[in-house]
Structure formats: structure tokens, C-alpha cells
Structure 1
Amino acid sequence: MVTQLLVMVLIGLVGSFFSGLLGIGGAIINFPLLLYVPEWFGFTAFTPKEVASISMLQVFFASLSGVISNRLSTKGGASLVHKKLVIQMGFSTLIGSLIGSVSSIYLNGETINIIYGFLAVIAVIMMVIPTKAASENISVSQVTYNVLLAVISAFLVGIVSGIVGAGGAFILIPIMLTLLKIPTRITIASSLAIVFLSAVGGVIGKIAAGDIPFWLATFAVIGSLLGAPLGTYLSRRMNVRMLRYALVVLIAVTAVKVWVDILV
């Protein structure tokens, strides 16, 4: 039992470490780790529904930690969080995530894996193709965007993210940069709050679905809270470009394995 708990801490730590290091959503890494690693150590494998639930719980606490850290770091200075954007996209993705999480009750494990497989492919594309934001030399009050597009895109991302237990940052951030033309620094600061609201809806839905193994999930969360600050710290002190492309390969290989398991 102790070994299993240590494995859960390690999974949470590794996933959140790379999330903090490379600035991508942790769920896209945590999902395959939770799906395959416990079985490698001889423990009973989690079902895709349990994996999605644990991953969503990790996203909730990781994004909460990020929001708190961001508020503390901007205390006394100008905040880069676009409050109107957060409210509009945040509550849209919250509702979508809640719907996705609850609807996962009626989906089988293979369907959830298929959805993750598609998201993994999208994540690889998003990480490889460079995104171009709007001018960085504008303040939060000067930012304009298409409200309807923001609300609809956040809602749709919330649904699929809620199903697989993701916060959706790896899709939301490129949408905010390329479609809504939000400056990068405002996008990064605002996306934390949006993902947190998405995670709120997702956790409520997963609890309602009853698929969260809370005891094991608690240790995965502990690992996540340890790994994310370390990854963020190192990301400011090293060139992570090559490591980012290595992770692209890893996610791509994982996506291939998921699809092979589904189709074979």
C-alpha cells in the first residue's frame, strides 16, 4: 500500500513538474501517466473514468495554487487578469465542464480514451505550430475581442475537458492568442482563473459521477503541488525548447498507444 501511495505522489509530481516547466496543461501529461504507470508497478490499473476524475482533481488544486500565486505576485501592482474575459469564458467553461463531467457517467472507458486521443493530437499540433498574439503594448482596459466567439469556444472546450478530466489550458491559450487576439501576458494571467473555474465545474461533475478514488487521488494531488512550483522555478532559468519538443514526441507516442489499444 505504501509503495502504491508513493507511486501516486511520483505520478502527480512528474506530471505537474513538466506542466510548470513547459507551461502546458498538466492533464495532457497526467492522463497517460495515471492510465499506464500503476499497472507497470503491478497495481490494479485505473479505469479511464477514474483516471479522468483523479486528473480533474489535480487540475483543480494546481490551478487554485496558480491563481493564489498570481494574486500574491501582483499584489500592490497592476494585475494582468482581464476580469471581464475571465467571467465570460470562465463561467462558460465551468458550465461546459460540468456537463462533460456528468455526461461521462454514460460514456464507456473506450470512448473516454478516444476523446483523450483526439485531444492529445490537438495538443501536439498546438505545441508545434507557433501562435501569434496581438500587440503586447496595450493595457488590460484596451483589450477588445469577440465576446460570442469567446463564450462559445470556452463552452465547447469545457465539455470535452470535463469528460477527460482536463482544464483545457492547452486549447484555450491558443484560442485566446490566435482567435481572440489577446496579448500573451494577459492570456497567461487570465487563463489561470479560467482553468480554475473550469476545474470547479469538472470536480463537481466527477463527484456527482462517483468515480473519484479519493484516498489515492489525495496523494497524486500532493505530488502535483510539489512538482508545479519546481517546474515553474526551473523554467525561468533554463532553455526548455528542446525539452518541449521531446515532450511533443512523448505525447504523440502516448496518443499512438491509446489509438492502438482502441483499434487492435
Structure 2
Amino acid sequence: MEVAGYISSIFIGIALGLIGGGGSILTVPVLVYIFKIDTLAATAYSLFIVGATSIVGSISYFKKQLVNFKTVLVLGIPSIFSVFLTRWYILPTIPQEIFRANGWPVTKNILLMILFALLMIFASYSMIKKDEKIDESKSTVKTQNYQSLFIKGIFIGLITGLIGAGGGFLIIPVLVKNLKLSMKMAVGTSLVIISINSLAGFLFSLSHFNVEWIFAIKIASLAILGILIGSYLSTKINGEKLKPAFGWFVLTMGIYIIVKETIIK
């Protein structure tokens, strides 16, 4: 099973590098179901893995000046604040057993996995549906949208903090549709925001669990290898054409998690 987990870690990076977002949403299921890690710890490891991978993935966008730093600040600051509140205060206060339904205990782990599955289903929809055609020459931010962007940053930070997902599938539509960034600029900016949010969330989690650093670095390294492969393949293959197929895969995984946590379990 560990071999399958290592291969999956590379695939996560490939998906992230090839289609620009969504790959990291598979990190927690891989850690929980293949490596058998506790769900709460898996969200923390996921933050480290996603953060490290996103930093490497953003380097090429830095070099090409495809990162909008003003947007990083406006979206990133409320996101980090929200991640901090979630990892430091909200998650620790959720009881291990929330309630019982007909003698069946609904635990914190089950709740987090169901939330994660619902988010996967939502993310799959954004991948499957056809995107609007974007003029790649447009990369000017609409400043009048910053108040809305601030609120969305808080929501994105909440999601990142709760379930350890980078949230690229949430961030990119905001940057493209609300701020009218080009797709390439949106992907580069999104990777920077994801890396900041994820690594901040991981740091906020350190006091709540013991890190197996060798394991974390090993998985992160494989995911980084994957994103380098994915970034190379993106110059040969149109990632947008693969996004719907990946979306159906994510949808299937989301449904599987719900069934496993509520029926099979």
C-alpha cells in the first residue's frame, strides 16, 4: 500500500502542474486511506505537502512575472488570519465524538472527511463545466472588487484550515471572473497564495500534533517531483482538455468517501 501512496503523491503533483489546481485535493484521501493516518494529522501533513509543492510550482511564474502581488496581499492576509483561527481555535474545540445517530457515533474524523468529500464534489463541478473564454492579454485587477475579495479570502482560509486543501479550485475562479486576471496570471498568483496559506496553516498546527518529518519530507518531495513533471507536460499537452476527466475522477472519489464514511464504515 505504501508504494501506491508514493505513486499517488507523484500524481498529485502532476495534476497540480498540468491543470493548475485541484490536484492537492487528493492529498488528504491518500494520507488517510492509503497511509492510514489520522484525519486531523492528515490535514496538517497536507498543508505542508501542498505548501511546499506550490512554492516550487510558483517559481516559473515568478520568473515570467505572472504573479500579481497586490492580489496576493489582499486575498492572502484575510486567508492567513482565517487559517490561524481555524487551526488554533476552531478545530481543537470540536469534540472527538460530536453526536450519535441511532447508536452510530459521528466523530470529528468522520465530519472532516464528509466535509472534504462535499468540497471534492463542488470542486469537480468547477473542473467539469466549460470555462468562459478569457482574453489572455488582460491582466488588470479591478480594484473595486477588493472588499468582496477580502471576504472570499476569509472563506478560503476557513476551508484551507479545516481540511488542508490548497483551494486553487476556489481561488482561480475568483481571480479570473472577479478580477479579470488572465488564466496564466491567475494560476501563478493562486500558487503563491496557496503556498502562504498552507505553510502558515502547518505552522499553526505544530503545537497540536507530532510531525514525522522524514515521512512529510518524503511525500512532499514526491509531490514536488510530480509538479515538475506536470509543468513540463503542460508545455506539450493542453491541461484544460484534461481538466474535465480529472473532475470526474475527483467526483467519483468524493462520492466514495461519503459512502465509506457513512455506509461501509
> TM-score by structure 1 length?
0.84
What does the per-residue CA deviation read over 1:196-220, in whole Å, with 9 as the maximum and x for residues that have no partner? 2211321122213225433321211
Which residue of 36, 39, 43 corresponds with 1:48?
39
Which residue of 64, 84, 93 corresponds with 1:106?
93
Residue 16 (structure 2) pairs with residue 19 (structure 1): yes
Aligned to 1:85: 71
**Whole-Å separation in 1 of the counterparts to 2:82 and 2:119:** 16
Deviation at 1:17, TM superposition (A): 1.4
Size of the alignment, in residue pairs?
Answer: 249
Residue 233 (structure 2) pairs with residue 234 (structure 1): yes
Instruction: Map residues 28-39 of structure 1 onto 2, 5 A cutoff.
Output: 28-38=25-35
Between the aligned residues of both structures, percent identity stands at 22
* Residues 133 and 238 of structure 1: CA distance in aligned 2, closer, same or farther (over 3 Å): closer
> TM-score by structure 2 length?
0.84
Query: Is 1:54–1:213's contact at 8 Å kept on the other side of the alignment?
Result: no
| Paired amino acid for 1:127 | M
**Whole-Å separation in 1 of the counterparts to 2:145 and 2:133:** 15
Deviation at 1:172, TM superposition (A): 0.8
**Whole-Å separation in 2 of the counterparts to 1:20 and 1:158:** 22
Query: Is 2:61–2:67's contact at 8 Å kept on the other side of the alignment?
Result: no
Aligned to 2:81: 95
Query: Aligned with 1:146: secondary structure?
Result: helix
Deviation at 1:221, TM superposition (A): 0.7
Aligned to 2:173: 174
Residue 54 (structure 2) pairs with residue 67 (structure 1): no
What does the per-residue CA deviation read over 1:171-226, in whole Å, with 9 as the maximum and x for residues that have no partner? 11112222333332321222122112211321122213225433321211111111
Unaligned 5+ segments in structure 1 are: 39-44
* Residues 139 and 32 of structure 1: CA distance in aligned 2, closer, same or farther (over 3 Å): closer
Query: Is 2:156–2:167's contact at 8 Å kept on the other side of the alignment?
Result: yes
Query: Is 1:145–1:180's contact at 8 Å kept on the other side of the alignment?
Result: no
| Paired amino acid for 2:13 | S
Deviation at 1:144, TM superposition (A): 3.5
* Residues 166 and 211 of structure 1: CA distance in aligned 2, closer, same or farther (over 3 Å): farther
Residue 158 (structure 2) pairs with residue 159 (structure 1): yes
CA RMSD of aligned residues (A): 2.3
Instruction: Map residues 129-208 of structure 1 onto 2, 5 A cutoff.
Output: 129-132=129-132, 135-140=135-140, 143-208=142-207
Query: Is 2:20–2:187's contact at 8 Å kept on the other side of the alignment?
Result: no
| Paired amino acid for 1:208 | S
Deviation at 1:98, TM superposition (A): 2.1
| Paired amino acid for 1:96 | S
| Paired amino acid for 1:226 | L
**Whole-Å separation in 2 of the counterparts to 1:26 and 1:100:** 23
Deviation at 1:241, TM superposition (A): 5.1
Q: Report the more deviating stretch, 20-29 or 127-136.
A: 127-136
Deviation at 1:133, TM superposition (A): 6.8
Deviation at 1:151, TM superposition (A): 0.7
Query: Is 1:158–1:198's contact at 8 Å kept on the other side of the alignment?
Result: yes
| Paired amino acid for 2:10 | L
